[in-house]
Amino acid sequence: FMLKHIGNLLSQQKSEVCDGSVCEAKGNYDELVFQNLSEKFRLFIISSVQIASKVTLHTNVIDNSSALRYLHLVGTDCPKEKILESELLILKTLDYRVNVPNPLSYAETLLEVLGHNNPTTPIVHLHHLCRYVLQFVYLQRESIYSSLLMAVTGCLSPSPDQRAKFVSVTEDCMLLGVGAIAVAAFIYQTSAWEKVVEELTLITGISAKSIMDFANVTLVHITKNKVK
């Protein structure tokens, strides 16, 4: 948002007619933009957090009253209308494209559903572990997916056709999110991970075998790296 907003401000400032005395008083374009941002920076932060909460924290959205209290605590007072205007500005600047699919958002949504279906599920712990699992998968992405391809095809040297069909698997954010939860569940409480996998299968429709294949391959790589 900030990159686009700064670009818009620069374009706007340069397009406005500005005589020498005004420019000299207010400084150059960059200074004008900085002044504009510094006055609204805290407001933009809380508005961004509000939007993020609406996208991901469906049961715990940060409302305008909470936003006003935060702004007051950090020394910024503004009417509720300004918060609404700020939120709308951010949404318009981003062309309302705020819900970009990614594995973590899938995992967080699935964890919410798991927690709703079974309140005893250790959601907080699983979420904490999921973040580390996803980081690990990204760092070891090529080797993990290569191992997964060999596991599902049963071939040490998969054919070009098998590799081509497997591309969709590497781009499946839902599978990665589900797999990360399964790995986290295994690490946190091995005795209960099959139950978690079963629940994930019911929620997503992804077969238990696919989830377990992904989890097993990832766990093998985690173990190898831990030994090293």
pLDDT, tens only, 94-147: 888 777 778 888 898 899 999 999 888 899 999 999 999 999 999 999 999 999
Q: Where are the domains of the chain?
A: 2-93, 103-227
Mean of per-residue pLDDT scores for the chain: 83
Q: Where are the alpha helices (DSSP H) in 16-122?
A: 20-26, 29-56, 64-73, 80-93, 103-117
3 state SS of 140: coil
Contact 150, 78 (CB under 8 A): no
Is pLDDT at 25 greater than 50 in this prediction? Answer: no
Tokens coding 61: 């959205």
Cβ contacts of residue 64 below 8 Å, gap of 6+? 50, 80, 83, 84
> Count of residues for the chain?
228
* pLDDT: which is higher, 112 or 31: 112
Question: What per-residue confidence (pLDDT) applies to 26?
Answer: 47
Instruction: Return d(Cα 190, Cα 183) in angstroms, integer.
Output: 9
* pLDDT: which is higher, 67 or 101: 67
Is pLDDT at 17 greater than 90 in this prediction? Answer: no
- Nearest CA to 132 out of 65, 199, 183 is that of 183
Question: What per-residue confidence (pLDDT) applies to 57?
Answer: 61
**Residue whose pair of structure tokens reads 């509720």 in the numeric block:** 80
> Dihedrals φ, ψ of 122, to 5°?
-75, 70
Instruction: Return d(Cα 103, Cα 80) in angstroms, integer.
Output: 34
Instruction: Return d(Cα 70, Cα 187) in angstroms, integer.
Output: 37
Percent of residues, the chain, with pLDDT higher than 90: 36
